[in-house]
Amino acid sequence: MEIEFQAKLKKVAVLGAAGKMGSGISLLVVALLAAEKVMLIDTRSEALNDLLHYLKEQLHKKAEKGELSYAQIEHALARVETSTAVASAKGATTVFEAIIEHFPLKAELFLQLDALCGDKTIYFSNTSSIPICKLEKLATLQGRVMGFHFYNPPAIQKMVEVVKTEKTKEEVLALATFLGKEFHKILIPANDVAGFIGNGHLMREGLYAINEALLLEKQIPEDRPAFASSIHALNSITKEYLLRPMGIFQLIDYIGLDVFQAILKVMWEEDQTLHSPLIDQLLKDGVRGGQYPDGTQKDGFLQYTKSKPIGVYELYRKQYLPFEQLQATTEALLDPRPLDHTSCSWKLLLNESPQERERKLSLYFQNLFLLQTPGAKLAKAYLLASRKIALQLLVTGACDDIESVNAVLIHGFHHLYGPINNYY
Ligand SMILES: NC(=O)c1ccc[n+]([C@@H]2O[C@H](COP(=O)([O-])OP(=O)(O)OC[C@H]3O[C@@H](n4cnc5c(N)ncnc54)[C@H](O)[C@@H]3O)[C@@H](O)[C@H]2O)c1
């Protein structure tokens, strides 16, 4: 433990501690930081009780795996307090902010915290999209705030996007690097542009996928479930053809359509192409995605049983249709001649050495594009679109080099390869 950082760990506060991200961040803070005091703050008191229960359960699991001793757990929990009052953050030396993605609320919270804590406190915001400089300026934090953008779930995901502003002080950067080490995370620097790298790519990719699906829909005879089949087709292209852990519409469901819309709204202020009437319509229909409190997936574009996709929402009938009912239409759209999924699936390639994975990926894409089927063409166009988005992030200044985009897609989204590749 580097002594110079101990002073910054005198009192660590987590705001929004009982939320989806806040609870994971709280676990990391309690389990891995040698903080003298940890203050977990959330406006929902019931949820704070659940949080304490969750922390105990997770720490005991670590003890069972031999990662912590029971004495260490007791010591860790003895330092923890919970509160529903922001005022309990008074005197905090380091603050993690993970309240909902709403600029006025975050700005107001930072103003309150600054008045309570004074001008030495360092802040890390988990915002997914809000430029850090906007929070810094409004709450006059003067170089003491950084984006520390965990991926979901924070305790498991290996990567954090770190975002500094023009004013961020050296000591704040040094603390972020130190925290990254303590939390065992890979830190990827992103620039202070709305959406940063991860959502900068994901939101644009999601809109591209929606647009492609709506174009595909026009090729489907009227008596067929056109919307559901085209969503199903694009989801298959992104999961099975592009060898990803999940298709793009399953990913949007995982994030939540409401969160997807909220992030788009923030990014829209910098790029007015970022809007989806379809997402607005689906939310009006009550199609939201996201998770139940037990972590299982709620229905969104797709329908789920125990988090496993089983069907797709048909916009024009306002009901879910099972995959089996869509199969024939989807297959006619994509003309899926056999792909070599026995030796080349996301799961299989994940366990290969980097050299072997690269060799197999090159071969796989070579063979895929030789097929010349509508599905193969869609997959190729999708890869090119993702590449274009990555280059756009470089041009708009969301990142300094293209390797950072590849790293975020690989470490944050668990892709086997980045958008800048040689597979075309
Ligand atoms: N969910 C994700 O996948 C994800 C991933 C990366 C980053 N993020 C970002 O993390 C942040 C939190 O997202 P989430 O999904 O955990 O949201 P959430 O709604 O699950 O949690 C937010 C929590 O903040 C609490 N809260 C609201 N106002 C508060 C206040 N003034 N003081 C204290 N607590 C307050 C709420 O009670 C809630 O428990 C957002 O900025 C979001 O963009 C989310």
Ligand 1 lined by 396 (C-beta under 6 Å): no
Closest-CA residue to 57 (of 77, 80, 36, 34): 77
Q: Is the peptide bond before 153 cis (omega within 30 degrees of 0)?
A: yes
Ligand 1 lined by 154 (C-beta under 6 Å): no
The pTM score is 0.94
pLDDT of residue 353: 96
pLDDT of residue 346: 95
Q: d(Cα 194, Cα 255) in Å, to the nearest integer?
A: 17
Ligand 1 lined by 22 (C-beta under 6 Å): yes
Q: Which two tokens stand for residue 392?
A: 């756009």
* pLDDT at residue 89 greater than cutoff 70: yes
Query: Which 8-state DSSP code applies to residue 291?
Result: B
Q: Which two tokens stand for residue 309?
A: 């996709």
Closest-CA residue to 20 (of 202, 259, 284): 259
- Torsion sign across C-alpha atoms 285, 126, 105, 49: positive
Ligand 1 lined by 47 (C-beta under 6 Å): yes
Atom 4 of ligand 1, nearest CA residue? 152
Ligand 1 pocket test: pick from 15, 42, 45 the residue with the most ligand atoms within 8 Å of its Cβ: 42
pLDDT tens digits for range 380-394: 999 999 999 999 999
Fold of 3-190: Rossmann fold (3.40.50)
Q: Which two tokens stand for residue 363?
A: 């071969």
pLDDT tens digits for range 185-205: 999 999 999 999 999 999 999
pLDDT of residue 2: 60
Ligand 1 lined by 109 (C-beta under 6 Å): yes
- Torsion sign across C-alpha atoms 392, 397, 400, 403: negative
* pLDDT at residue 400 greater than cutoff 90: yes
Q: Locate tokens 């704070």: which residue?
A: 48
Q: d(Cα 224, Cα 218) in Å, to the nearest integer?
A: 11
Q: d(Cα 147, Cα 189) in Å, to the nearest integer?
A: 10
Q: d(Cα 158, Cα 184) in Å, to the nearest integer?
A: 7
What are the extents of the domains in the chain? 3-190, 198-412
Rounded to the nearest angstrom, the distance between the alpha carbon of 390 and the centre of ligand 1 is 27
Ligand 1 lined by 41 (C-beta under 6 Å): yes
Rounded to the nearest angstrom, the distance between the alpha carbon of 287 and the centre of ligand 1 is 20
Rounded to the nearest angstrom, the distance between the alpha carbon of 15 and the centre of ligand 1 is 9
Confidence band of 3 (pLDDT split at 50, 70, 90): low
pLDDT tens digits for range 240-264: 999 999 999 999 999 999 999 999 9
Rounded to the nearest angstrom, the distance between the alpha carbon of 127 and the centre of ligand 1 is 9
* pLDDT at residue 1 greater than cutoff 60: no
pLDDT tens digits for range 18-75: 999 999 999 999 999 999 999 999 999 999 999 999 999 999 999 999 988 999 999 9
Q: d(Cα 239, Cα 249) in Å, to the nearest integer?
A: 10
Rounded to an integer, the average pLDDT of 404-422 is 97
Rounded to an integer, the average pLDDT of 7-25 is 96
Rounded to the nearest angstrom, the distance between the alpha carbon of 16 and the centre of ligand 1 is 6
Local structure of 94: helix, strand or coil: strand
- Higher-confidence position of 207 and 138: 207
Fold of 198-412: N-(1-d-carboxylethyl)-l-norvaline Dehydrogenase; domain 2 (1.10.1040)
pLDDT of residue 336: 77
Q: Are 79 and 35 in contact (CB under 8 A)?
A: yes
pLDDT of residue 115: 94
What is the side-by-side order of every strand in the sheet holding 37-41? Answer: 80-83, 37-41, 11-15, 94-97, 122-125, 145-150, 159-163, 186-190
pLDDT tens digits for range 315-346: 999 999 999 999 999 999 998 776 766 678 99
Q: d(Cα 301, Cα 236) in Å, to the nearest integer?
A: 13
Ligand 1 pocket test: pick from 46, 86, 100, 126 the residue with the most ligand atoms within 8 Å of its Cβ: 100
Report the DSSP pairing between strands 94-97 and 122-125: parallel
Mean pLDDT, rounded, of the chain: 95
